[in-house]
Amino acid sequence: MCGINGYVGEREAAPIVLDGLSRLEYRGYDSVGVAVLQDSGEVSIHKRAGKIGDLSSELTDRWPTGKQAIGHTRWATHGKPSDANAHPHADCTGRLVVIHNGIVENHQELRRRLGDEHTFASETDTEVIPHLLENNLKDGMNLADALTKTMNQLEGAHAVLAMSADEPGVIVAARAGNAGGIVVGYGRGENYVASDLPALLPHTRNVVFLDDGDIAVVRAKTVEYRNGGRPVTREPQEVPYDPVSVAKGNYKHFMQKEIGEQPEAILDTIRGRANFAEARVDLEDVQISPSRLGSIKRVVLVGMGTSLHAAMIGRHYFERIARMPAEVDNASEWRYREPVVGPDTLLVSVSQSGETVDTLAAMELARERGCLQVTICNGIGSQATRMADGIVYTRCGLEIGVASTKTYLAAITALYLLACHIGQERGIIDRERMGGYLEPIAHLPYLAGEVLARGAEQEELAHEFARFDNFLFLGRGIHYPVVMEGALKLKEVSYIHAEGYPAGEMKHGPIALIDPDVPVVAVVQKGDLRAKMINNIEQVKAREGTVIAIGVDGDDELEEKADRTFYVPETSDLLSPVLTSIPMQLFAYNVAVRRGCDVDQPRNLAKTVTVE
Ligand code: AGP
């Protein structure tokens, strides 16, 4: 959601901050703004609804000069996208500015308390923050102390940056709860603050991720941290990314690039963890004793969106590989139920970003109940990785396209490894069985590459089907989540209405939708469920529906049954979702491109959802 970026140093700050914000565009936003502490000692604010490019064009030939700036891309929650509602927001003097990610849940009460002597210029909840700061500064505090006090007055979760003309050379940053991360980047004689790494990578890889409750006082040459009013030490860590990895290169879109990177992402997720010679799976960040794992009676998997779909596939792994009772739920539903869980429950959370507010809240609840937790996550240093007892990183590098692709396939792979590892540690998978699970995973990156090599067929399909406005996706068993994800991808990037259903459910309602204008995408796997899927295809055809079947190489009968077919190579039943997901990603991408959609930044969507 909102992007945050700040700079303090020796260089002109505004272009650096706007460039950083443009690297966070993928987070999703509707307005943009920057405040510069000018060499003259005044704060100059420039903000507007629209894109960063619009603001940059507006500033051409009149860039505000100054060596310190904060900037923001806003994803509207309170108050429509408009120039006035864009951040930064100032206090009454105009000398103090704030940018914010999160929701001030008690903003109405705070506005009332601030009273008539404060004039508000926007409809946002955020605007109470500079005014509270203004009051707190009047009590003789410095900016960092005033922000500490202000954060205690706010309800909800927040990431805040503030600077004041009366304290030049300082940007203060605060993180409270799970409203998205704040990362401090260490340069030479200059420092940076951002909501996410891509803004920092052109400048530095040495970073500190703020903990819940941290305040950072960032100057050009020093950064101090405090938490709970006391100084704390935060050692910078080097992140293993480089700016090239977050560049689009020759690709037209990040989504296209990231779909293409999937064989490598799968390989990186497996690397060093699956020991083929000894038939073992060892996960470097899951150091949980066999006796603790042995005490677990059931597994609960949670996630949102694409990560939920990966978790739904993971449930099959825990049941079939680790032989453990497993259930799966949408994190935002699970957290508001009264789930009966405790120390004998393993909560497996799946999150690309590790910052999704509902997933973090589910983890918080699990922590309160004493559950053991493992997170499947791509976001190095993210909040989810700090809350869990064990981590399986998906090692995909940064994913920039809003629609998750490579992190989805890597998460499925990671869940497979986790189920193997836990089954092994609980002593229920012997060497021979483990060999059987590991053998197909060794071929998976290559086979994923094979599917990608057939991408031209997908372009033809997209050409033919891009004109339809409704799609039904059907699958069974482990391919039910696959079709849910196929439908989600199509919705997200091409704005086509699509629904994913377990094929057995079709006759209980969705069949009423079937007509020649509602194409059906059906995944037909090998094994017991194949015949059932063929029956479902027959039922669609009997109602003049059009069927695109995704089948396994060699299943030639599908040609007769379906209108169009796309084949993937054969792998084990358990790993087949990795391969059948790829044609659906390619289909969604190609259809969206044909329809002229903004593939990497679909309307209304944010890469990381930090509000409920
Ligand atoms: C997927 O294409 C979407 N961007 C979205 O559904 C996403 O998977 C969801 O918001 C969860 O995000 P997370 O994996 O970062 O927790």
Question: Cα(455) to centroid of ligand 1, in Å?
Answer: 24
Q: Is the CB of 404 under 6 A from ligand 1?
A: yes
Q: Output the pLDDT for position 580.
A: 97
CA 406 – ligand 1 centroid, Å: 12
Collect all residues with Cβ–Cβ distance below 8 Å to 458 and sequence separation of at least 6.
566, 583, 586, 587, 590
Check: CB of residue 424 under 8 Å from CB of residue 321: no
User: Could you give the CA distance from residue 520 to residue 570 in angstroms, rounded to a whole number?
Assistant: 22
**Interacting residues of 10 by C-beta distance below 8 A, sequence separation 6+:** 67, 189, 190, 220
Rounded Cα distance between 367 and 374, Å, is: 11
| Interval between CA 407 and ligand 1 midpoint (Å) | 10
Q: Decide: 601 in ligand 1 pocket, CB within 6 A.
A: no
Q: Which atom, in ligand 1's list, is nearest to the CA of 352? A: 14
Residue 304 CA: nearest ligand 1 atom is 11
Distance in Å, CA 176 to ligand 1 centroid: 22
- For ligand 1, say whether the CB of 375 is within 6 Å of any of its atoms: no
Residue 369 near residue 342 (C-beta atoms within 8 A): yes
Long-range contacts of residues 110-118, Cβ cutoff 8 Å, at least 24 apart: 110/153, 110/154, 117/92, 118/91, 118/92
Predicted pLDDT of residue 499: 95
The residue whose CA is least distant from atom 4 of ligand 1 is: 403
Phi-psi region of 47 (alpha: psi -120 to 50; beta: other; left: phi over 0): beta
Q: Would you say residue 218 has pLDDT above 90?
A: yes
- Single-letter residue type at 224: E
Q: Whose CA is nearest to atom 3 of ligand 1?
A: 403
2, 377, 396, 597: the active-site residue: 2
pLDDT given at position 102: 87
Burial call 367-383: b when 16+ CB within 10 Å, e when fewer:
eeeebbbbbbbbbbbbb
Taking the alpha carbons at both ends of the chain, their separation in whole angstroms is 11
**pLDDT score at 397:** 87
pLDDT of residue 347: 98
- What mean pLDDT is predicted for residues 272-284? 94
Report the distance separating Cα 403 and Cα 217, nearest Å: 35
Q: Is 307 in the pocket of ligand 1 (CB under 6 A)?
A: yes
Predicted local distance difference test score (pLDDT) of residue 533 = 95
* Distance of alpha carbon 222 from alpha carbon 217, whole angstroms: 8
Alpha carbon distance 367, 199 (integer Å): 32
For residues 92 and 13, what is the distance between their CA atoms, to the nearest angstrom? 24
> Going by CA atoms, what residue is nearest to atom 9 of ligand 1?
305
- Asked whether 56 lines ligand 1 (CB < 6 A), one says no
Q: Tally Cβ neighbours within 10 Å of residue 532.
A: 14
Pocket test for ligand 1, best of 254, 259, 304, 492 (most atoms within 8 A of CB): 304
Give Cα 367 distance to the centre of its chain: 22
Over residues 505-553, the pLDDT tens digits come to 988 998 889 999 999 999 999 988 999 999 999 999 999 999 999 999 9
CA dist 239 and 225 (Å) reads: 20
Distance from Cα 446 to the centre of ligand 1, integer Å: 26
Instruction: Write out pLDDT tens, residues 16-45.
Output: 999 999 988 877 788 999 999 998 999 999
Q: Exposed, middle or buried by CB within 10 Å (0-12, 13-18, 19+), for 308?
A: buried
Find out whether the beta carbon of 602 lies less than 6 Å from any atom of ligand 1: no
Query: CB of 256 within 8 A of CB of 589?
Result: yes
Active site residue: 47, 257, 491, 607, which one? 607
- The DSSP bridge pattern shows strands 96-102 and 89-90 to be antiparallel
pLDDT digits (tens, 9 = 90+) for 297-346: 999 999 999 999 999 999 999 999 999 999 999 999 999 999 999 999 99
Q: Which of 383, 405, 387 is nearest to 396 (CA)?
A: 405
From 75-89, 354-368, 476-490, 535-549, the region with the lowest mean pLDDT: 75-89
**Would the CB of 349 count as within 6 Å of ligand 1?**
no
Q: What is the average pLDDT across 108-118?
A: 92
| Residue 578 near residue 412 (C-beta atoms within 8 A) | yes
Q: What are the φ and ψ backbone dihedral angles of 355, each rounded to 5 degrees?
A: -130, 5
% of the chain surpassing 70 pLDDT: 99
Asked whether residue 433 carries a pLDDT value surpassing 80, the answer given is: yes
Centre of ligand 1 to C-alpha 11, Å, is: 36
Query: What pLDDT does residue 604 have?
Result: 82
Cis (ω within 30 of 0) for the bond into 81? no
DSSP 3-state of 223: strand
Given phi > 0 = left and psi -120 to 50 = alpha, else beta, which region is 470?
Answer: beta
Q: How confident is the prediction for the chain on average, in pLDDT?
A: 93
Can you give the pLDDT at residue 240? Answer: 80
Query: Quick one: average pLDDT of 126-147?
Result: 94
Q: Which atom of ligand 1 is nearest to the CA of 402?
A: 4
Range of lowest pLDDT (132-136, 237-241, 474-478, 556-560): 237-241
Any catalytic annotation for residue 561? no
Q: Which residues pair with 393 in a beta bridge?
A: 377
Q: How many helices (H) and strands (E) does the chain have?
A: 19, 27
Residue 612 has pLDDT above 80, yes or no: no
The least confident of 8-12, 61-65, 82-86 is 61-65
Ligand 1 within 6 A of CB of 492: yes
Taking the C-alpha atoms of residue 411 and residue 328, their distance in angstroms, rounded to an integer, is 15
Rounded distance between C-alpha atoms, residue 213 and residue 73, angstroms: 23
93 Cα to the center of ligand 1, angstroms: 40
pLDDT of 267 reads: 93
Nearest to 148 by CA among 93, 76, 224: 224
Question: pLDDT at position 539, please?
Answer: 93
Please name which of 276, 270, 170 lies closest in space to residue 215, comparing C-alpha atoms.
170
CA-to-CA distance for 416 and 578, rounded, in angstroms? 11
Please give the Cα distance from 4 to 101 (Å, whole number): 8
Protein residue with its CA nearest to atom 8 in ligand 1:
306
Q: Are 514 and 502 in contact (CB under 8 A)?
A: no
The pTM of the full predicted model, rounded to 2 decimals, is 0.83
Torsions phi, psi of 181, nearest 5?
-85, 170
CA of 357 to the centre of ligand 1 (A): 11
352 lines ligand 1 (CB under 6 A): yes
Mean pLDDT of 196-207: 92
DSSP 348-383: EEEESSS--HHHHHHHHHHHHTT-EEEEEE-STT-H
In the chain, the amino acid numbered 159 is: A
420 included as an active-site residue: no
The distance of Cα 458 from the centroid of its chain, to the nearest Å, equals 26
- What phi and psi values does residue 35 have, to the nearest 5 degrees? -120, 130
Q: What is the average per-residue pLDDT within 66-90?
A: 92
Nearest residue (CA) to ligand 1, atom 7: 305
If DSSP codes are grouped into helix, strand and coil, which group holds residue 201? coil
